[in-house]
Amino acid sequence: MKFTALQIAALLGGTIEGDPNVEVWNVAKIEEGAPGMLSFLANPKYTPYIYETASSVVIVNNSFVAEKSISATLIRVEDAYASFGKLLAYYDQVSQDKKGISSLAFVCPSAQHGENLYLGEFAFVGENVVIGNNVKIYPQVYIGDGTVIGDNTVLYPGVRLYRNTVVGKRCIIHAGAVIGADGFGFAPQEDGHYEKIPQVGNVLIEDDVEIGANTTIDRSTMGSTRIHKGVKLDNLVHLAHNVEVGENSALAAQVGVSGSTHLGKNCIVGGQSGFVGHLHIADGSKFGGQCGVMGSIKEENQEFMGTPIQPLRQYLKSNARFRHIDEMARKLEALEKELAELKSKL
């Protein structure tokens, strides 16, 4: 897909210096530019590259003053970084504007869908499914019976939605995510074996949620496992049955949250952190990578590190002392030896 400098400037509300008809069809870092590429300059550290880049078009700030000749066509805007982001979003929208139902997809007769549906090859839509408008369902997606999917949601290849899952509007679920598998519920018996506890609830995902590749969210034992609006989950996150994640919280890769734990609003969780079950985590809590959370947190907007977690400042002090533990051990050994010698003389 090609765009001219004139089209790009019109989209961004920018002004052109150079050839308005030059075409670009891809993007590149300014230091790695090539003909047909679009780049941007926002960080002054990269200014030297604008005089040597081979990119055909470069987006710059209005305040940029050239000290040498530039071969690329410039598009001047108020904020080059924000404008480049806007352009990427537009390109992503246009390039993924897929519509139509593949003849190789299967849709149960009782399923309903809105306008402008894209349904890729080998996708399966179960009984009594309800799909909103402008939904994109890529190849090999499985949508179980009774599932509801809101407007403008995107399901990438290989997503699995078990029965009765509810997905809100403008959600993005990346490849390989499994939503609504059974929670890990087993009752130990006297003879040592485990009796499976049926998981009869569902997963409820509100609007504007993004779920990373190969993330798994278990259905609840009863009621719903709930992901509130605006939540962002990275790849390889696992949320167990009856977990609740509050609005606008963000969980990085490989976070694991055990059953019935409730995270508040605006929480941030670093990668590989783990939570035991049945906790209540206050709004605005922040956890560094590899935190081990073993108790509830009642005070809002606190920062934590470590396993088990400590308040961030306390952790940093302890960690600084820990780096000197060998030296402290040697000093203690010397003092004990000196004390033993003094005792022997008395």
Give the residue numbers marked as catalytic.
Answer: 241
DSSP letter, residue 38: E
Secondary structure class of 88 (helix, strand, coil): helix
Alpha-carbon span 11 to 80, nearest angstrom: 13
CA separation, residue 202 to residues 28, 83, 161, 228, 241 (Å): 43, 40, 10, 14, 9
What is the CB neighbour count within 10 angstroms for residue 300? 14
Smallest CA-to-CA distance from 85 within 11, 31, 33, 19 is with 11
Dmax (CA) of the chain: 98
- Total number of residues shown for the chain: 346
Alpha-carbon span 125 to 109, nearest angstrom: 9
Alpha-carbon span 273 to 132, nearest angstrom: 35
The DSSP code sequence of 229-243 is TT-EE-TT-EE-TT-
Alpha-carbon span 89 to 279, nearest angstrom: 38
CB 256 within 8 A of CB 276: no
CB 1 within 8 A of CB 25: yes
